[in-house]
Amino acid sequence: MNKFKGAIFDLDGVIVNTVPLHFKAWKRMFSEYGITFSKEDYEKKVDGKPRVEGARAILTNITDEELIRACDKKNNYFNEFLEKEDIEVFETSITLVKQLKQKGIKMAVASSSKNADNILKKIELYDIFDADVSGTDFKKGKPDPEIFLTAAKRLGLSPMECMVFEDAQAGVEAAKNGGFLCVGINRYESPEKVKKADLVVKDLKEIGVSDLEDLFRRKNVY
């Protein structure tokens, strides 16, 4: 029987809040194409998707070559903001990460962002994870499970031995499509986004390692 051995964390929205920086970078880039980009556009069309998919959802009438240039601009703007500005860290998530580390649970970060390593280094958390998967490591975006399957493989574990922590609808669906148990984090009173998760919390302070082990038992995973 399988035992809880691995934890896979989405980065943005779960460990850190880089949404303000991403939104500013997208907004600045899209403005150069004469597009007014709103928070609603970000949430519905861009958030949680690989960069090219997000850009294509807004820039529907440009060539693929120009689309790549637009994505590069957005990334440069994001890294400019990342270097200059502070980012919000969810300390309760860090507490759970450290508890899992102490229990010997293998951990990975799985982010659609190609800047995941830079973010983890900025918040001095890069070395605590056993593996990381970023936007350069997979081809199919969420809700395809490739990102989480890649993370589990790098941990040397099966999906049935891992739990995914997500705050976005596409991420929760990706986890479930890959055969993972999933904890959905409903930080902003949008429960419909994470309703398919096996457990929904408002903040990771609500659960500990024993709760996660109990979830495995209740779902008959081991």
| pLDDT tens digits, 39-93 | 999 988 997 677 898 999 999 999 999 999 999 999 999 999 999 999 999 999 9
State how far the alpha carbon of 38 is from the alpha carbons of 19, 58, 74, 80, 200, in Å: 13, 11, 15, 21, 28
The CATH architecture annotation of domain 19-84 reads: Orthogonal Bundle (1.10)
111, burial (CB in 10 Å: exposed 0-12, middle 13-18, buried 19+): buried
* pLDDT tens sequence across 92-128: 999 999 999 999 999 999 998 888 888 999 999 999 9
Domain boundaries, the chain: 6-17+88-218, 19-84
Task: Say whether 10 is catalytic.
Answer: yes
* pLDDT tens sequence across 143-194: 999 999 999 999 999 999 999 999 989 999 999 999 999 999 998 888 888 9
Q: Does domain 6-17+88-218 have CATH number 3.40.50.1000?
A: yes
Burial 73-102 (b: 16+ CB within 10 A, else e): bbbebbeebbeeeebebbeebbebbebbee
Of 10, 47, 130, 167, catalytic: 10
Given a cut of 80, is residue 2 above it in pLDDT? Answer: no
User: To the nearest whole percent, how much of the chain has pLDDT over 70?
Assistant: 98
Same fold, 6-17+88-218 and 19-84: no
Given a cut of 70, is residue 1 above it in pLDDT? Answer: no
Overall pTM > 0.75? yes
- Pair 133, 154: CB distance under 8 Å: yes
Residue 129 CB neighbour total at 10 angstroms: 22
Of 12, 41, 130, 198, catalytic: 12
C-alpha radius of gyration, the chain, whole number: 17
